[in-house]
């Protein structure tokens, strides 16, 4: 006979009741509680609803794909956007800290990619998947920011977008129409990612001026005009730009830096992967996820006061992020981003806001497709979902157990442990101050942690694990290779990605 739990009785008697405590129950009980949460938190399961999104088969995203894969956009001609954002690597690069220019095997992506001096990029490459779904900030520290932050608009709400080219608080009139195109103006200006250390005709004193010179030089290289007329030995880009923009104009008119990043942005914005088992479940299919994942979901969406794990206070809504910044004290294993006593620490959001509470704060990541976007944290300090989840539940214990000595010495700053302890102090300070959200210490059983991990795995769109399904976003021999400089990615075994 089916046992009637106290929870079911209460729900039957008192209508929807979820705020008291978490009832362990059979499947039907779990479904009832989850349906109540879905209604209460107004979830549709689909964060792409109501948005205008490009399709990868359209001409502009097609051009963007060719540019995304071309090493001609790097000052050293050995790095491309795809170097750190390959669709078969979850839209990232699968390594803790990215390696851009100067890799001995430029086309080798993922594990096994090396640099003679260790990784030069201070942070983990976030996925480009679903980048059309951000409405407030790009980057771990939010240095590209929508001034309007209107939901559903990806920054395209008429208020403008602030970028590192402009002072704090001012929109950048060159930023373009959405957050993704605004972001795409910057990787080519980063010395470690794409620019290299001695590129271009002049350096300029101001960062903004230097960035402008870099972009001017690149548009001439791709366009085959001006001082860079003959830099590419093969150059058929004009045909591709004419097709994509449906125009017969000449290279100087069509192949501008603004048009280059517009196309790249539309390619990225076409990478929408939201058809998850969780979406199916929210849509009404009770069997779309298993019981363990349902228990995990219940913990995920329930506050700690009510016996849950509190995850959805920050990983909120259908995109699983509040797009705000929080200090979690993830071990600081990177080479650092020009902060701290020796310039080898990464203080995160405070570098933008100068507010103390933002020290070591980073943007809440989306959790869609998180199963394939590891390693985790702003510097890829954790290799597995279980370990990053456990860090949230007790940062102090996680840091005490973190194998700092085993981190590749070419990766970590020698001060990693000290900086991590400073981050922990900041977290404790933020907890005490109250007012802004912090992770709380939460006691869960091993089984409950596993339930949460199982729930996180229901946020994977099967397409991102299926090479054939991803193939529209990966050029092959049937696609044009306008400069002969396409990055044909291989893994460490020499197999094509």
Name the residue nearer to ligand HEC (CB basis): 5 or 256: 256
Q: How far is the CB of 381 from ligand HEC (least distance, A)?
A: 8
Choose the binding region for ligand HEC from 188-196, 246-254, 351-359, 488-496 (rule: CB under 6 A): 188-196
| DSSP letter, residue 92 | B
Residues near ligand HEC (CB under 6 A), total: 55
- For position 362 contacting ligand HEC by CB under 6 A, the verdict is yes
Among 113, 392, 412, 486, interactor with ligand HEC by CB under 6 A: 392
Nearest to 413 by CA among 331, 334, 330: 334
Helix axes 237-245, 59-68, angle to 10 degrees: 150
**Rounded to whole angstroms, how far apart are CA atoms 149 and 441?**
31
Choose the binding region for ligand HEC from 217-225, 227-235, 310-318, 473-481 (rule: CB under 6 A): 310-318
Name the residue nearer to ligand HEC (CB basis): 40 or 441: 441
- Beta strand residue intervals within 246-339, DSSP E: 325-327
Among 109, 121, 398, 464, interactor with ligand HEC by CB under 6 A: 121
Strand, coil or helix: 108: strand
Of residues 272-301, which lie at the interface with ligand HEC (CB under 6 A)? 300
Q: How far is the CB of 436 from ligand HEC (least distance, A)?
A: 8
Choose the binding region for ligand HEC from 6-14, 124-132, 240-248, 272-280 (rule: CB under 6 A): 124-132
Among 36, 351, 437, 469, interactor with ligand HEC by CB under 6 A: 437
- For position 126 contacting ligand HEC by CB under 6 A, the verdict is yes
- Beta strand residue intervals within 287-411, DSSP E: 325-327, 361-363
- For position 377 contacting ligand HEC by CB under 6 A, the verdict is yes
- For position 188 contacting ligand HEC by CB under 6 A, the verdict is yes
Among 172, 219, 228, 310, interactor with ligand HEC by CB under 6 A: 310
Q: How far is the CB of 194 from ligand HEC (least distance, A)?
A: 5
| DSSP letter, residue 165 | T
Among 8, 60, 272, 370, interactor with ligand HEC by CB under 6 A: 370
Name the residue nearer to ligand HEC (CB basis): 220 or 373: 373
**Rounded to whole angstroms, how far apart are CA atoms 368 and 130?**
8
- For position 100 contacting ligand HEC by CB under 6 A, the verdict is yes
Q: How far is the CB of 4 from ligand HEC (least distance, A)?
A: 30
**Rounded to whole angstroms, how far apart are CA atoms 470 and 391?**
32
Q: How far is the CB of 311 from ligand HEC (least distance, A)?
A: 3
CB atoms under 10 Å from CB of 465, counted, come to 14
Among 199, 241, 281, 376, interactor with ligand HEC by CB under 6 A: 376
Residue 92 has phi, psi (to 5 degrees) of: -125, -150
17, 278 Cβ separation under 8 angstroms: no
Instruction: Copy the structure tokens of residue 243.
Output: 């097709």
**Rounded to whole angstroms, how far apart are CA atoms 53 and 324?**
24
Report the b/e string of 447-462 with b at 16+ CB within 10 A.
Answer: ebbbbbbbbbbbbbbe
CA atoms within 13 A on the CB side of 126: 24
**Rounded to whole angstroms, how far apart are CA atoms 83 and 77?**
12
CA atoms within 13 A on the CB side of 213: 13
Name the residue nearer to ligand HEC (CB basis): 60 or 311: 311
What stretch of H or E contains 295?
helix 291-301
Among 183, 217, 292, 491, interactor with ligand HEC by CB under 6 A: 183
**Rounded to whole angstroms, how far apart are CA atoms 388 and 347?**
19
133, 366 Cβ separation under 8 angstroms: yes
Q: What's the CA angle centered on 272, arms 268 and 276, to 5 degrees?
A: 150
Among 75, 160, 187, 395, interactor with ligand HEC by CB under 6 A: 187
- For position 65 contacting ligand HEC by CB under 6 A, the verdict is no
Entry field: residues in the chain: 497
- For position 138 contacting ligand HEC by CB under 6 A, the verdict is yes
- Beta strand residue intervals within 340-495, DSSP E: 361-363
Name the residue nearer to ligand HEC (CB basis): 8 or 80: 80
Name the residue nearer to ligand HEC (CB basis): 11 or 106: 106
Q: How far is the CB of 153 from ligand HEC (least distance, A)?
A: 16
What residue ranges bind ligand HEC (CB under 6 A)?
A: 79, 81, 83-85, 98, 100, 121, 123, 125-126, 128, 131, 138-141, 180, 183-184, 187-188, 193-194, 264, 268, 300, 309-311, 313-315, 326, 328, 330, 362, 364-365, 367, 370, 373, 376-378, 385, 388-389, 392-393, 437-439, 452, 456
């Amino acid at each position: 006979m089916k046992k009637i739990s106290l929870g079911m009785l209460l729900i039957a008697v008192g209508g929807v009741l979820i705020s008291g405590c978490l009832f362990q129950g059979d499947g039907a009980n779990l479904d009832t509680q989850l349906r109540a949460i879905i209604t209460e938190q107004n979830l549709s399961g689909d964060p792409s609803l109501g948005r205008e999104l490009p399709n990868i088969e359209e001409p502009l995203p097609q051009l963007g794909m060719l540019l995304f894969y071309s090493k001609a956009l790097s000052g050293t001609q050995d790095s491309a956007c795809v170097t750190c954002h390959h669709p078969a690597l979850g839209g990232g690069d699968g390594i803790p800290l990215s390696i851009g220019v100067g890799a001995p095997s430029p086309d080798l992506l993922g594990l096994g990619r090396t640099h003679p001096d260790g990784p030069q990029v201070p942070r983990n490459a976030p996925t480009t998947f679903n980048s059309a779904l951000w409405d407030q900030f790009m980057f771990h520290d939010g240095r590209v920011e929508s001034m309007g932050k209107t939901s559903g608009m990806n920054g395209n709400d008429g208020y403008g977008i602030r970028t590192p080219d402009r002072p704090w608080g001012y929109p950048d009139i060159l930023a373009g129409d959405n957050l993704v195109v605004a972001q795409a103006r910057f990787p080519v200006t980063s010395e470690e990612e794409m620019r290299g250390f001695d590129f271009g005709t002049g350096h300029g004193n101001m960062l903004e001026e230097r960035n402008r010179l870099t972009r001017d030089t690149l548009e001439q290289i791709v366009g085959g005009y001006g001082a860079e007329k003959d830099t590419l030995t093969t150059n058929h880009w004009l045909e591709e730009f004419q097709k994509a923009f449906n125009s017969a104009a000449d290279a100087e008119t069509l192949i501008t830096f603004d048009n280059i990043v517009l196309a790249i942005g539309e390619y990225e914005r076409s990478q929408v992967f939201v058809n998850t088992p969780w979406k199916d479940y929210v849509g009404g299919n009770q069997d779309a996820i298993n019981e363990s994942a349902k228990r995990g979901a219940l913990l995920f969406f329930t506050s700690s006061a009510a016996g849950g794990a509190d995850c959805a206070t920050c990983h909120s809504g259908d995109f699983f992020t509040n797009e705000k910044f929080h200090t979690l004290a993830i071990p600081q294993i990177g080479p650092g981003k020009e902060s701290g006593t020796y310039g080898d620490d990464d203080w995160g959001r405070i570098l933008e806001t100068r507010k103390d509470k933002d020290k070591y704060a980073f943007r809440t990541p989306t959790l869609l497709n998180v199963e394939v976007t590891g390693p985790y944290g702003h510097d890829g300090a954790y290799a597995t979902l279980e370990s990053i989840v456990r860090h949230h539940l007790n940062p102090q214990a996680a840091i005490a157990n973190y194998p700092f000595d085993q981190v590749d010495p070419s990766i970590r700053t020698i001060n990693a442990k000290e900086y991590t302890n400073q981050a922990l102090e900041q977290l404790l300070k933020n907890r005490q101050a109250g007012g802004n959200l912090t992770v709380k210490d939460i006691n869960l059983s091993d089984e409950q942690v596993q339930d949460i991990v199982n729930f996180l795995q229901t946020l994977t769109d099967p397409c991102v694990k299926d090479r054939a399904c991803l193939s529209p976003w990966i050029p092959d021999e049937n696609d044009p290779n306008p400069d002969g400089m396409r990055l044909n990615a291989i893994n460490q075994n020499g197999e094509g990605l």
